[in-house]
Amino acid sequence: MEFSTQTTASLHQLKTAALAVGVYADGVLSPAAELIDRASNGALQSVIKTEFRARLGATLVLRALPGVTAQRVVLVGLGKQAEYSTRAHASAEQAFANYCAGAQLAEGVSTLAALPIEHSTIRDRARAAAIAAGQATYYYDATVGKTERDARPKLKKITQIVDRAETAQAQLGLREGTAISNGMELTRTLGNLPGNICTPTYLGETARKLARNYKTLIKAEVLDRKQVEALGMGSFLSVARGSDEPLRFIVLRYNGKTATAKKAKDNGPIVLVGKGITFDAGGISLKPAATMDEMKYDMCGAASVMGTFRALAELAPALDVVGLIPACENLPSGKANKPGDVVTSMSGQTIEILNTDAEGRLVLCDALTYAERFKPSAVIDIATLTGACVVALGSVNSGLFSTDDTLAEALLAAGRQTQDTAWRMPLEDAYQDQLKSNFADIANIGSPGAGAVTAACFLSRFTKAYPWAHLDIAGTAWRGGKDKGATGRPVPLLMQYLLNQAN
């Protein structure tokens, strides 16, 4: 997808396959719609009262309007004017991009980002437009046949019409949105790939490929079982042992600060830790068969780290980021963990495994201990960690847990800025009691209640050395049902957070 900005007062003379103009639900035309209405002798006014109610995200296509050069004018519903927000704007851009992609158009022109919204900048709105277009044109075809492949969207370019004074800021937003989209594309495809293809080895190779493609900015190191044993990651190893598929521990390094020689303050890097369970059958605590296929998505945390690294390399902001990915399968076998087993983590703390399906925290805890060596300024782990988080927050917000208010606020703000929102959850000491074990320093599951919180409490035992936050993306990383597929979240949140840190 390609974007450009253009400034024009003669909208009706634009040559394009589709021109998007916004209409508010109260029957109020946006300035662009007003202009087209006048040029076409009231063609818009005549439909908005009857055929088009301008519900948010609704579209109505008008073809061959007299006095208008665009082949199609796409009326995009903006909802009520008083309720128009950054989220509404993102939905409107999404509706237009979806229309263009669905109609197999090659390009379109949008006037939506130019509409002012309180507490938002043209840069934010242009970024949202680019992300929306990237989502509309995403197409998974890695494992589908030729006929399906012909349905791939043709949309290559959307031009945004903005004020001349705002052009430079809009361009910046479009560039950021494109990089975020490209990152999301990688995240979605890794998530959608089946477990028999997207193995820990495959993730390791993807990391190496990132390093090859962005030689000066990204370095990758891929550790195997022997090296992980030498590090003493007894908890991670215990999960990996249940499968014949070899484990990988991936270390990615993005060096933007050194590359741009902008060493203002010598802060430690920001470390992103992604859960990389390429298939989670539950182990001996086997999951039920229904929808078990969705457990191929249990590496979406890892995939969001990879996607964020791709976006980082494309934008090259001045900061240093480390990515850590413990990757393995969680299967039942003669070598798998058994309920009651006690393992020793890299931190030295012993863990009683009461449920082998609570494996995410078992692989993450060793990665969190490994993170200490970077003397990080912040560590953020991203994991499809608990079904309980889906119960609590559904698919709207990712669950955010943090011991550091500044870090938590920065992540929440980045989520709001990119419509990739998170909701802060509690992480009080009172919940830690639920993790008491009679036979080890800690149990890997809590007593009933607050499952997403006790999972975060477990992780917090391994994060004392740095400011830390945990994102539970079990409800947001993919959609189930007929629209089954990875969403690319929370790449926008993570990337926006990192961009905000670099500025």
- Asked if 437 is part of the footprint of ligand BES (rule: CB under 6 A), the reply reads no
Task: Give the residue with the Cβ less far from ligand BES, 233 or 358.
Answer: 358
Phi-psi group of 382: left, alpha or beta (phi > 0 → left; psi -120 to 50 → alpha; rest → beta)? beta
Contact 299, 186 (CB under 8 A): no
For tokens 């158009």, name the residue.
105
The answer to whether the CB of 252 falls within 8 A of the CB of 310 is: no
| 381 binds Zn ion, rule: CB under 5 A | no
Task: Output 192 or 255, the one with its CB closest to ligand BES.
Answer: 192
Q: Of these, 210, 445, 456, 494, which contacts ligand BES (CB under 6 A)?
A: 445
Helices 167-192, 491-502: inter-axial angle, 10-degree rounding: 140
Distance of alpha carbon 499 from the chain centroid: 15
Q: Is 390 in the site for ligand BES (CB under 6 A)?
A: yes
The residue from 21, 76, 174, 388 that contacts ligand BES (CB under 6 A) is 388
Q: Write down the catalytic residue from 123, 361, 461, 489.
A: 361
Instruction: Considering the complex, state which of residue 203 and residue 390 has its C-beta at the smaller distance from ligand BES.
Output: 390
Q: Does 352 bind ligand BES (CB under 6 A)?
A: no
Asked whether residue 359 is marked as a ligand-binding residue, the answer is yes
Q: Which stretch binds ligand BES (CB under 6 A): 17-25, 124-132, 356-364, 415-423?
A: 356-364
* 22 is a contact residue toward ligand BES (CB under 6 A): no
| CB 366 to Mn ion: min, Å | 16
Cis peptide before 66 (omega within 30 of 0): no
The residues, ordered by sequence, that sit 6+ positions from 61 with a Cβ below 8 Å of its Cβ are: 18, 72, 73, 74, 75, 99
Give residue 429's identity as a one-letter amino acid code.
D
**Active-site position among 287, 416, 424, 479:** 287
Instruction: Map residue 324 onto helix, strand or coil.
Output: strand
Q: Tell me how far, at minimum, the Cβ of 140 lies from Mn ion, in Å.
A: 24
Is 280 annotated in some ligand binding site?
yes
Residue 275, marked binder: yes
> Which residues 105-164 are close enough to bind ligand BES by CB under 6 A?
none
Burial of 142 (0-12, 13-18, 19+ CB in 10 A): exposed
* Shortest Å, Cβ 336 to ligand BES: 14
Give the separation between CA 452 and CA 503, rounded to whole angstroms: 33
Q: Is 215 a catalytic residue?
A: no
Q: CA-to-CA distance for 306 and 323, rounded, in angstroms? A: 8
Q: Which of 243, 337, 386, 402 binds ligand BES (CB under 6 A)?
A: 386
Residue for token digits 């370019």? 157
268 binds, among ligand BES, Zn ion, Mn ion, none (CB under 5 to 8 A by kind): none
474: contact with ligand BES by CB under 6 A: yes
Is-catalytic flag, 188? no
Window 229-268: contact mask with Zn ion (x via CB under 5 A): ----------------------------------------
Shortest Å distance, C-beta 386 to ligand BES: 4
Binding span for ligand BES by CB under 6 A among 122-130, 179-187, 197-205, 385-393: 385-393
The CA angle 3-7-10, to the nearest 5 degrees, is: 120
Size of the site for ligand BES (CB under 6 A): 16
Interaxial angle between packed helices 86-102 and 122-137, expressed in degrees from 0 to 180 and rounded to the nearest 10: 30
Is residue 357 at the binding interface for Mn ion, with CB under 5 A as the rule?
A: yes
Of the listed pieces 264-272, 339-347, 383-391, 431-439, which binds ligand BES according to CB under 6 A?
383-391
Considering CB distances under 5 to 8 angstroms, the limit depending on partner class, which of Mn ion, Zn ion, ligand BES, none binds residue 352?
none
Quote the least distance from Cβ 475 to ligand BES, whole Å. 7
Minimum separation from the CB atom of position 286 to ligand BES (A): 11
Whether 84 and 78 have beta carbons less than 8 Å apart is answered as yes
Query: One-letter amino acid identity for 115?
Result: L
358 binds ligand BES (CB under 6 A): yes
Is the Cβ of residue 280 or residue 366 nearer to Mn ion in the bound state? 280
471 neighbors 379 (Cβ within 8 angstroms): no
Binding positions for ligand BES, 406-425, rule CB under 6 A: none
The closest residue (CB) to ligand BES is 387
The answer to whether the beta carbons of residues 7 and 169 sit under 8 Å apart is no
Distance CA 486, CA 179 (A): 18
DSSP readout, 373-384?
A: GG--SEEEEEE-
What region, left, alpha or beta, does residue 283 occupy, with left being phi > 0 and alpha being psi -120 to 50 degrees? Answer: left
**Per-residue contact string for residues 346-365; x = within reach of Zn ion by CB under 5 A:** --------------x-----
CA angle 439, 443, 448 (to 5 degrees): 125
Does 269 help bind Zn ion (rule: CB under 5 A)? Answer: no
Single residue of 280, 320, 352, 381 touching Zn ion by CB under 5 A: 280
- CB neighbour burial string for 155-177, b if at least 16 within 10 angstroms, e if fewer: bebbbbbbeeebbebbbbbbbbb
Buried b (16+ CB within 10 A) or exposed e, 59-84: bbebeebeebebebbbbbbbbebeeb
Q: Does position 298 bind Zn ion by CB under 5 A? A: yes
Nearest Cα neighbor of 5 from 136, 132, 126, 133 is 126
Contact 122/113 with Cβ under 8 angstroms?
Answer: yes
Catalytic positions, please?
Answer: 287, 361
Interface residues toward Mn ion, by CB under 5 A: 280, 357, 359
Q: Which residues are annotated as a binding site?
A: 275, 280, 298, 357, 359
Q: Which residues are annotated as a binding site for Mn(2+)?
A: 275, 280, 298, 357, 359
Interface residues toward ligand BES, by CB under 6 A: 280, 298, 355, 357-360, 384-388, 390, 445, 451, 474
Interface residues toward Zn ion, by CB under 5 A: 277, 280, 298, 360
